[in-house]
Amino acid sequence: MPRARCNVCCNAVMSCICKWTSPIFNQTNIVLLQHSDEVKKPLGTAKIVSLCLQNALVKVGVDFSTDVDFDRLMNFPNQNLAMLYPSESALELHSWRNRKPDTEEEKQTETVPKTLIVLDGTWRNTREIMNVNPALKNLPAVKLTPTIQSNYRIRKAPFADSLSTVEAVSQALNILEPETSVDAMSLSFQHMIDYQINRMGEDVYLRNYVQPPSLQD
């Protein structure tokens, strides 16, 4: 018999994360482009983002070229649209936030809320999304300077300083709109991890998921 699932977060009822989430009324539009492979992962953190943030849009796929919302974003870009992606030309997010408009056209869009596109998936997944949707390469890219060690103790991070999606979005919102508390997302994330570690048992966790200290530096 299939396991009963929560209608909202789609997790098995036992590991439903809804009880830990609460609404965050953010100003910045967060658009998550989630790789299809990521959807099936039980420990994906995009769900926390979409359950908490009242201003978030999640698109699932690899090729987004036929998606109406994606098309609108790519065809009407303005200075308030950027993508969180650590490309070589990426600006620090602080600099993007404080950037002053250069042209008349840009001045007109200055009051439009910012839109930040965030890719959700492994490094390989996100590279694939970039390659399949070349329009993304034309967007201004912004990056975060890691200030916290990822708390993502369950899935092995490709790099010690890489953040989970929920941590990256939280950090970005802290910079873009410091007046908005993102504690609800951090708490949900913490609960989700603690619950999973509890469930698999400390031994399994230590054996399979803790990186040797040399890799964490």
CB 118 within 8 Å of CB 169: yes
CB of residue 118 to Zn ion, shortest distance in Å: 22
- Binding track over 87-126 against Zn ion, x by CB under 5 A: ----------------------------------------
CB of residue 193 to Zn ion, shortest distance in Å: 16
Who contacts 177 (Cβ-Cβ below 8 Å, separation ≥6)? Answer: 26, 27, 28
| Residue recorded with tokens 């359950």 | 51
Of 13 and 148, the one with the shorter C-beta distance to Zn ion is: 13
What residues between 5 and 44 interact with Zn ion by CB under 5 A? 6, 8-9, 16, 18
Who contacts 110 (Cβ-Cβ below 8 Å, separation ≥6)? Answer: 79, 80, 101
Of 18 and 60, the one with the shorter C-beta distance to Zn ion is: 18
- What distances in angstroms separate CA 114 from CA 27, 49, 97, 210, 217, one per listed residue? 8, 17, 9, 37, 34
CB of residue 13 to Zn ion, shortest distance in Å: 8
Question: Among the candidate windows 4-12, 26-34, 70-78, 92-100, which touches Zn ion by CB under 5 A?
Answer: 4-12
Of 18 and 187, the one with the shorter C-beta distance to Zn ion is: 18
Of 9 and 166, the one with the shorter C-beta distance to Zn ion is: 9
CB of residue 52 to Zn ion, shortest distance in Å: 12
Of 8 and 112, the one with the shorter C-beta distance to Zn ion is: 8
For the chain, what's the residue count?
A: 217
CB 29 within 8 Å of CB 116: yes
d(CA 64, CA 131): 11
CB of residue 189 to Zn ion, shortest distance in Å: 15
Q: Per the structure block, which two tokens stand in for 44?
A: 């994906």
What residues make contact with Zn ion under the rule CB under 5 A?
6, 8-9, 16, 18
